[in-house]
């Protein structure tokens, strides 16, 4: 997906927009007159600036943070990393806590908080759930646009937490974003930094054309591709995790690589393949 511009909608964001634009080698554009305007006017403005909109996108910065707008065929879709909107907050407060499948997969029990390396962080949704449940989570993301969205989402949430939500601030403190390709990171990890659990959720090639794929998912897929090198990540993860590797897959997808998991937790649309390396001590991460 080709990034065409960084557009800022508030004068105070011009410097930040210029910095991000320089990072991506695209122009930064004053869109202050569109602040608060309907999305269709913003989209028309972005389209005008993009020229050829085939597979194109643009970053937009406003008081709510950073979003990536798709142009062309996916016109109207925007993606962002969100850690304090209504849906995320509902799940954090009422979403089932350690009873959630992801918590069981990672091995969370009361008083037990493994250090997790999320080697395919994406927009940080799973990492946030794990950090909400007490894990220290290091996130690795290699796609520059996704990393920019994730980093901006974390900053935005930290500002919000400072003003209004100390508990959210504690959760965000447990999340650390590292700019790295996981293959390289895992090959070079120090023995003392080996995580308790490595969590993998690589992209899966899109299913059939007729499948109901959410528009946001399609845009995300266009952005990062199919992670065709994901099989190799499992072996590396197995060599570096202390206690287990967890792989999230669509429910009907084949396993990653050729190894058979020791346990599988299956949900409605996803499943977690669990590869055990050693038993977790009962007091792991206890303070």
Ligand X SMILES: C[S@@+](CC[C@H](N)C(=O)[O-])C[C@H]1O[C@@H](n2cnc3c(N)ncnc32)[C@H](O)[C@@H]1O
Of the pair 44, 183, the CB lying nearest ligand X is at: 183
Stretch of residues binding ligand X (CB under 6 A), selected from 15-23, 41-49, 86-94, 115-123 = 115-123
By the rule CB under 6 A, 68 interacts with ligand X: no
Crossing angle between the packed helical segments 125-132 and 86-94, to the nearest 10 degrees? 40
Of the pair 69, 185, the CB lying nearest ligand X is at: 185
Q: Tell me the per-residue interface mask from 187 to 206 with ligand X, x by CB under 6 A, - otherwise.
A: --------------xxx---
Q: Nearest distance from residue 187's CB to ligand X, in Å?
A: 11
Two tokens, residue 177: 């974003």
By the rule CB under 6 A, 224 interacts with ligand X: yes
By the rule CB under 6 A, 235 interacts with ligand X: no
DSSP state at residue 259: P
CA dist 37 and 124 (Å) reads 29
Under 8 Å CB-to-CB from 212, ≥6 apart: which residues?
none
Residue with tokens 């949430």: 157
Stretch of residues binding ligand X (CB under 6 A), selected from 51-59, 107-115, 180-188, 237-245 = 180-188
Closest alpha carbon to 196 in 88, 117, 85, 98: 117
CA dist 224 and 181 (Å) reads 13
Count of chain residues binding ligand X (CB under 6 A): 20
Q: Which of residues 16-55 bind ligand X (CB under 6 A)?
A: none
Q: Which helix (H) or strand (E) holds 94?
A: helix 86-94
Q: How many C-beta atoms surround the C-beta of residue 47 within 10 A?
A: 17
CA dist 210 and 91 (Å) reads 30
By the rule CB under 6 A, 146 interacts with ligand X: yes
* Interacting residue with ligand X among 108, 123, 133, 152 (CB under 6 A): 123
Of the pair 86, 228, the CB lying nearest ligand X is at: 228
By the rule CB under 6 A, 125 interacts with ligand X: yes
Interface residues with ligand X (CB under 6 A)? 120, 122-126, 140-143, 146, 181-183, 201-203, 224, 227, 233
């Amino acid at each position: 997906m080709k990034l065409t511009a960084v557009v800022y909608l508030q004068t105070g964001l011009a410097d930040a927009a210029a910095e991000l634009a320089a990072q991506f080698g695209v122009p930064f554009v004053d869109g202050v007159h569109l602040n608060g305007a309907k999305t269709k006017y913003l989209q028309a403005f972005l389209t005008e600036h993009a020229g050829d909109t085939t597979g194109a996108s643009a970053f937009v910065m406003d008081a709510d943070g950073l979003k990536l707008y798709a142009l062309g065929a996916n016109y109207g879709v925007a993606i962002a990393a969100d850690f304090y909107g209504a849906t995320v907050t509902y799940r954090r407060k009422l979403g089932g806590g350690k009873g959630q499948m992801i918590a069981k997969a990672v091995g969370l029990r009361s008083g037990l908080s493994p250090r997790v390396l999320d080697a395919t962080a994406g927009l940080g949704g799973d990492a946030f759930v794990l950090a909400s449940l007490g894990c220290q989570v290091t996130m690795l993301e290699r796609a520059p646009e996704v990393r920019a969205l994730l980093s901006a989402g974390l900053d935005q949430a930290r500002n919000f937490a400072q003003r209004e939500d100390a508990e959210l601030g504690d959760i965000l403190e447990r999340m650390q974003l590292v700019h790295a390709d996981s293959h390289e990171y895992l090959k070079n990890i120090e023995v003392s930094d080996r995580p308790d659990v490595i969590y993998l959720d690589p992209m899966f090639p899109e299913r059939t054309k007729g499948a109901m794929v959410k528009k946001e998912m399609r845009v995300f897929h266009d952005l990062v591709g199919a992670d065709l090198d994901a099989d190799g990540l499992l072996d590396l993860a197995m060599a570096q995790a202390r206690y287990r590797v967890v792989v999230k897959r669509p429910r009907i997808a084949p396993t990653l690589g050729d190894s058979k998991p020791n346990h599988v937790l299956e949900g409605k649309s996803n499943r977690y393949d669990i590869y055990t390396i050693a038993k977790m001590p009962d007091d792991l991460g206890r303070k």
